[in-house]
Structure 1
Amino acid sequence: MPQAVTPLAVTPARSGGLGGIFGGRKRAEEENEELRRQINALLGMDAAAVAAEAAALQTQVAALRAEYTTLQAQVATVRAELVRTSTEAELQEVGIYRYQHPLADAVAYKAQIADLTDRIKAMARGGTAVEAATGWTINGSVAEGRKMVAQYSKLMLRAYNAEADNCVARVQPHRVHTTIERLDKVATTIARLGKTMGIRIGPDYHRLRVHEITLTADYRAKVEEEKERVREERERQREERAALLEFEREKARLAKEQSHYQAALAKLQAKGDLAGAADLEAKLAEIGEAIAGVEAREANIRTGYVYVISNIGAFGPNMVKIGMTRRLDPEDRVRELGDASVPFKFDTHALIFSHDAVGLEARLHAALDKQRVNKVNTRREFFYADPAQVRDLLQEIAGQHLVAYHETPEALEWRASGTHKQATQPPAAPVPSTMATVV
């Protein structure tokens, strides 16, 4: 007679949290393997033993199915209570920030936020921020029942406002939806906990707090936008002052040189040296033309140089910067850009003088618009392009203004440092932020 196999006893797992859920799945797999072994042992059993074993297996399967249904319900509950706060994932999905409440400036946003805050306070003081059931009694006392409901309503409102204030204080422009989702979960949780007394946050009050979040996010984005505009305006003014100082220095130098030649000319004329005087008069005419040219450049703010530069050591071989300067010596501007903020100096590929350098720069930027590095701030003048591509574009747009073009960057510091010969390893992938908050 074959030996009877003792049925496997299965006890449904009591799991709390995500660890118990996934642990239950592993146990189910182990128990399924044990069932397979038992089925193999059934092949040598008689009919009565097989029937008994089949009944036992059916009981185990039913228990496993019940456990699986329970685990699915637990997973659904936990997912419903989670608010995803993965910053990295959010930033990968966002594009250019779009204002939900477009206003002229930060001052206008601040005024609207102040008005909204007054409305929120008025609802809280007027008792319309929280909805609750009426008719509760304690020991037959309606007054005591009303007092109890009022106390619990106040407690729920304080909890909600604490979370709402935290959301407003920490909201960032590109995380508005996550912040609103968090506050929605808080309102849902309060409604669930206060279901017995019918306590919940009033929909109108919740809408005001959500409006406060979106308005605050817009305000912070506008403040940052205005700060960036101020920084760029200061840089433009600094560059303009530097150009004007150069013009003044050059005019002073030419005026001094002009006075020397005028004094020498007077002496030659007094001696009757007509040939020498003619040479000095020609030189004085050249100086006069130079002074007129400097004054013309100073008066015409569109006159200047368009430069094409790259920094292979800092940005790689397929990125260029195309800008414009009014400096008398445009290389001074290039040297300033290669200061301590970048590891190597910039290489100059082209310097194009134009009486409409502003327009020439704008045409180049428009032609390379799809290759911009920074598509949010168009005042950043970097483009994904190699010098050869820019050379062809310059020949088409600048025409005869393009005198010379250096396609290959020298990158002397970068090559001398031996950086291009080092076998560098790619940086380790950052650990994604996958924090979650249960509310």
Structure 2
Amino acid sequence: MTAADLTPPVLALAAAAALLFILLLVVAGRSRASTQRADELARDVRQRADEAAHLRDQLAKAEAATREAHAARASVEQRFSAVVDIEQEIAAVRSKAAEEQAQAEAEVAHARERAARDLASIEAQGKAMQSNLAELQDLYAQKRKVYDGLLAQVAIFDERLAFAEMGVYEPHFDFDDSDQYKAAIERVRAQQKQKVSAKNAVVCQIEWTVDGSKAKGKTMSDRAVRLTLRAFNNECEAAIANVRWNNAKAIEKRIETARSQIDAMNASNQVVITHTYFQLKLEELRLTHEYREKQKAEKEERAEMARAAREEAKLQRDLEQAEAEESRYFKLLAKARKEAEGAVGPKLDAYAAQIEALERDLAEAHAKTERAQAMAEMTKTGYVYVISNVGSFGPDMVKIGLTRRLDPADRIRELGDASVPFLFDTHAVIYSDNAPALERALHVEFAAGRVNAKNLRKEFFRASISDVESAVRRLAPEASFFSDIEAQEYQETLAMRNAALATQANPALAFPASL
């Protein structure tokens, strides 16, 4: 191999060696730089390690402080756990309250909206109802007016309503007896006949012509007048025939209505009933009514007079009986005295006792005769009695009456006859020389409690027994008064009725004797 052949590889190797050397130099330079850098890094690491150690120390201290803080916190939390729970509860309650408040406000707003809508609807309905009410009120007023008119017309023909609606009849005349009323009725009827004869009862206020004829017109008018007169007279006769104590005012109204209706139907013919003839019919009605009432009063007076006559006859019989009894005792006494003249010893003593008894009987008979004679001769002497009847009339009801019978108990027994279910209890029987005055004083005392204010002969009064006793003590101080209310028959009846009810107990309600 030649030198020329070896030159390129050598050159290459030399070049490679040179490059390697350069590379080594570079690496060595870099190594020195790296070493320096490493030293710097080492120093930095050592510095950082020192700082890390310092930080670890501080961290350890911080962790220790943290543990102490946690321990303290745990202690505090343990100590104030209740407060914390309450605060949490308060917070929860506040949160819930806020939610509920928000919900409530929403509901209130919704309710207000609904209420506003409902209120508007109600107001609309109210206005409609007010309008309907106004219409109904107007309609009711119209119908009520018609009803009142019809009711007034019905009341005229309904006796049950007439007395209550029309009121009490006030008399228009003051005649002493029924004969005067009868004469007045005949006089009024005669006046009516005169009016009819004079053609002043019913008149036609216009002169009619029919087919141009006044004669035909007068015939038509006369026929209308006769028909009107007949219709009105028939109405009046029927009304007057049915007049009674409780419908007199209604009958007056009925006649007035009949006249108005007949005149209204004749309005086109101008035929009217004159006021004078109408007043005569009313006068006949009133006279007829008062005539019948006077007849009733006279009948009661005759009955009272008959009772008084019976009382007088009874007094006369009592006087004759008392005189006969006194005469009998007088004869017996005279006979006993005569027989005693020849008696001696025990027989004389027996006659003496008999004479003494006969003298007492004679004295009583003589006093009875004098009282009977006084009552027969003097109309003011008599007995005022106070009686009651709880079973028949209830409590606090008394009868205060007068009798001139020698035995007032007869009159009291007579009052308790079959007309009442129980006997009267007698509280006082007061003899007086002026019995009517005493009776009248007691009646005045209890006038406010009089049961029958129309018929004063019905002597019943609403008053307590104690009040009557006080009045009797004041008006007749010496009189005896018994305030007890025995009512034997009434009490026995109640006891029997209660016993009967007790034996008729309802089986469904009665308790069994055993189960």
Question: With structure 2 as the length reference, what TM-score do the two structures score?
Answer: 0.63
| 2:433 equivalent to 1:361 | no
Higher relative contact order (CA 8 A, sep 6+): 1
Correspondence list, 1:27-426, <5 A: 78=150, 82-92=154-164, 98-271=170-343, 285-301=359-375, 302-402=380-480, 405-418=481-494
Q: Identify if the C-alpha distance between structure 1 residues 93 and 235 changes in structure 2 by more than 3 Å, giving closer, same or farther.
A: farther
Q: Identify if the C-alpha distance between structure 1 residues 270 and 76 changes in structure 2 by more than 3 Å, giving closer, same or farther.
A: closer
Cα shift at 1:321? 1.0
In structure 1, distance between residues paired with 2:374 and 2:491: 40
In structure 2, distance between residues paired with 1:68 and 1:307: 59
In structure 1, distance between residues paired with 2:431 and 2:165: 42
Q: Is the 8 A contact 2:263 2:272 kept in 1?
A: yes
Q: Identify if the C-alpha distance between structure 1 residues 322 and 169 changes in structure 2 by more than 3 Å, giving closer, same or farther.
A: same
Q: Is the 8 A contact 2:202 2:274 kept in 1?
A: yes
User: In terms of mean alpha carbon deviation, does 252-261 or 315-324 score higher?
Assistant: 252-261
Cα shift at 1:277? 6.9
2:29 maps to: none
Q: Is the 8 A contact 2:384 2:431 kept in 1?
A: yes
In structure 1, distance between residues paired with 2:167 and 2:364: 50
In structure 2, distance between residues paired with 1:67 and 1:88: 29
Cα shift at 1:193? 0.9
Amino acid corresponding to residue 366 of structure 2 in structure 1 = A
In structure 1, distance between residues paired with 2:352 and 2:454: 60
Runs of 5+ unmatched residues, structure 2 = 1-120, 125-130, 499-515
In structure 1, distance between residues paired with 2:324 and 2:224: 82
User: In terms of mean alpha carbon deviation, does 182-191 or 302-311 score higher?
Assistant: 302-311
Amino acid corresponding to residue 455 of structure 2 in structure 1 = N
Please give the secondary structure, in 2, of the residue aligned with 1:124.
helix
Deviations 1:254-273 (A, max 9, x none): 32122112111012124478
Cα shift at 1:249? 2.0
Deviations 1:356-394 (A, max 9, x none): 333322322222222211112222221111222211211
User: Rg: which structure is higher?
Assistant: 2
Q: Is the 8 A contact 1:83 1:182 kept in 2?
A: no
In structure 1, distance between residues paired with 2:142 and 2:463: 58
In structure 2, distance between residues paired with 1:71 and 1:308: 56
User: In terms of mean alpha carbon deviation, does 323-332 or 186-195 score higher?
Assistant: 323-332
Q: Is the 8 A contact 1:163 1:183 kept in 2?
A: yes
Please give the secondary structure, in 2, of the residue aligned with 1:134.
coil
Amino acid corresponding to residue 212 of structure 2 in structure 1 = G
Cα shift at 1:241? 2.3
Please give the secondary structure, in 2, of the residue aligned with 1:417.
helix
Cα shift at 1:150? 0.8
Please give the secondary structure, in 2, of the residue aligned with 1:399.
coil
In structure 2, distance between residues paired with 1:222 and 1:374: 19
Please give the secondary structure, in 2, of the residue aligned with 1:401.
coil
Runs of 5+ unmatched residues, structure 1 = 1-39, 44-57, 423-439
Cα shift at 1:288? 4.6
Q: Identify if the C-alpha distance between structure 1 residues 392 and 266 changes in structure 2 by more than 3 Å, giving closer, same or farther.
A: same
Q: Identify if the C-alpha distance between structure 1 residues 152 and 93 changes in structure 2 by more than 3 Å, giving closer, same or farther.
A: closer
User: In terms of mean alpha carbon deviation, does 390-399 or 109-118 score higher?
Assistant: 390-399
Q: Is the 8 A contact 1:96 1:376 kept in 2?
A: no
| Aligned Cα root-mean-square deviation (Å) | 3.3
Q: Is the 8 A contact 1:262 1:284 kept in 2?
A: no
In structure 2, distance between residues paired with 1:188 and 1:361: 52
Please give the secondary structure, in 1, of the residue aligned with 2:372.
helix
In structure 2, distance between residues paired with 1:237 and 1:419: 42
Number of matched pairs: 363
In structure 1, distance between residues paired with 2:165 and 2:317: 46
In structure 1, distance between residues paired with 2:468 and 2:148: 56
Please give the secondary structure, in 2, of the residue aligned with 1:342.
coil
Q: Identify if the C-alpha distance between structure 1 residues 388 and 96 changes in structure 2 by more than 3 Å, giving closer, same or farther.
A: farther
Please give the secondary structure, in 2, of the residue aligned with 1:104.
coil
Please give the secondary structure, in 2, of the residue aligned with 1:353.
strand
Cα shift at 1:278? 6.3
Please give the secondary structure, in 1, of the residue aligned with 2:478.
helix
Q: Is the 8 A contact 1:297 1:304 kept in 2?
A: no
Amino acid corresponding to residue 188 of structure 1 in structure 2 = S
Amino acid corresponding to residue 223 of structure 1 in structure 2 = Q
